[in-house]
Chains A and B, each alone.
Chain A
Amino acid sequence: DAGITQSPRHKVTETGTPVTLRCHQTENHRYMYWYRQDPGHGLRLIHYSYGVKDTDKGEVSDGYSVSRSKTEDFLLTLESATSSQTSVYFCAIRSDRGDTMYNSPLHFGNGTRLTVT
């Protein structure tokens, strides 16, 4: 979908272990985002990136870090996974080719289902 690949698609891990989720795009878009989705909360922004090595926090960034060393890859790391981080994680990308900054939509990947036991 829209040239976005999330890996892995499913992962089960134990509390306290580090976990890295990968988002790869083939669109060469500037903006990339990580969201989590939980029942009753809709989608909530974790972190986003507006270029290589340029990232910023979203509304639920505690316990997560991100890195973007290449345009095409945006990594989300849980340094020490907790059960509260059991969720579905979605990556999204957005171009900056609209005539104004927000006149271009986000396109989402198919998600990574993470279970922390």
Chain B
Amino acid sequence: DAKTTQPPSMDCAEGRAANLPCNHSTISGNEYVYWYRQIHSQGPQYIIHGLKNNETNEMASLIITEDRKSSTLILPHATLRDTAVYYCIAFGNEKLTFGTGTRLTIIP
């Protein structure tokens, strides 16, 4: 899997959109971009994934640049329950690798 780079931490005001960036400049053509989050010590929770088109579901939106070298996860209206560690992963073989992610803190 391609290596991904994320900022270690971010803050966002409650009710605002949280935009989490991820760089994956070495991503290959068959690798999907996945986003997970982990709240406290619970198991990672799947959020969204995409290959090259932008994607949206009930939790978030995923914006992938045209060259696929970076992406942004958007939580449209952040709540306190969105405080978590967010992982961006380029997934193209069975050895799915999680980095250390971005710790997102939602500020009341």
Contacts and interface: CB of A to CB of B under 8 A. Distances in A.
Given A48-B95, A56-B94, 12 more contacts: A31-B94, A41-B100, A42-B87, A45-B95, A45-B97, A48-B94, A59-B95, A92-B44, A102-B31, A102-B93, A107-B46, A113-B41
Interface in A65-117: 88, 90, 92, 100, 102-103, 105-111, 113
Interface residues of A, number: 29
A62 interface: no
Interface residues of B, number: 24
B45 interface: yes
Interface of A: 1, 31, 33, 35, 40-45, 48, 50, 56, 58-59, 88, 90, 92, 100, 102-103, 105-111, 113
Contacts of A35: 98
A108 B31 contact: no
B43 A108 contact: yes
A109 B94 contact: no
